[in-house]
Amino acid sequence: MSLPFHHFSRRGLAASVTAVLAGLATAGATWSITTTAEASQVSQASSGPRTCTVSDLYLSMGRKEGAAGSLYWPVRFTNTSTTGCALRGYPGVSVLDTAHRQIGPAATRSGSSYSSVTLAPGHSASAVIRTTNGPVGGPCLRTGTYLRFYPPALHKAVLVPADWKICSGVFQVGPVNTEGTI
């Protein structure tokens, strides 16, 4: 039951609340008052695990694989904290040279659907990056020394040593998932 509180004076509001509570008690209903802090804790508990932070994660590169003219390389996000946390969506990815200058554009999103991935302590999920396997439809940019990753929903980057070059203007990233798909 809700009351349009903005239509009551203080005295009218108090009388209305008292009448509603009396009616609930007569009907055998129970009620309690929840503080804002308690409501916040209940809301956080029901919304699932917290979002992983950069300090919770260790990023490492998997094994490069080529298929159908493309080169795929998974990045693993491993939860190194003592509590579970979640990742949802696409990481930001760009290629950097030895001086940490960006080479070419950042990766575009593959467009695949995604859901939240909960990582228990010590568990991993991955996102896959892709380019063409050589200059298929255009030239390759110079090879970078690092990949810069912004984990989903975070604004702090992690640099991972990795030799990678963008070829034919194709540089995509898939969402974080447990299936290893782009």
Instruction: Tell me, yes or no, whether 75 lies in a domain.
Output: yes
178, part of any domain: no
Q: Are residues 70 and 91 in the same domain?
A: yes
0.85 exceeded by pTM? no
> How many folded domains does the chain comprise?
2
Phi-psi region of 8 (alpha: psi -120 to 50; beta: other; left: phi over 0): beta
Task: Render each residue's pLDDT in the chain as its tens digit; 182 residues.
Answer: 444 433 434 444 444 444 444 444 444 443 333 333 333 333 344 568 999 999 999 999 999 999 889 999 999 999 999 999 999 999 999 999 999 999 999 999 999 999 999 999 999 999 999 999 887 878 999 999 999 999 999 999 999 999 999 999 999 999 999 998 88
Same domain, 118 and 66: yes
> Strand, coil or helix: what is 27?
coil
Could you tell me if residue 181 is inside a domain? no
Greatest C-alpha distance within the chain: 79
Q: Are residues 81 and 158 in the same domain?
A: yes
**Residue 86 domain boundaries:** 54-173
138 and 89 in a single domain? The answer is yes
- Are 127 and 72 members of one domain? yes
- 93/125 same-domain check: yes
Residue tagged 């950069």 (tokens): 54
Q: Is residue 14 part of a domain?
A: yes
Enumerate the β-bridge partners of residue 182.
Answer: none
Q: Where are the beta strands (DSSP E) in the chain?
A: 57-61, 65-67, 70-79, 85-87, 92-96, 102-103, 108-109, 117-119, 124-132, 144-150, 158-164, 172-173
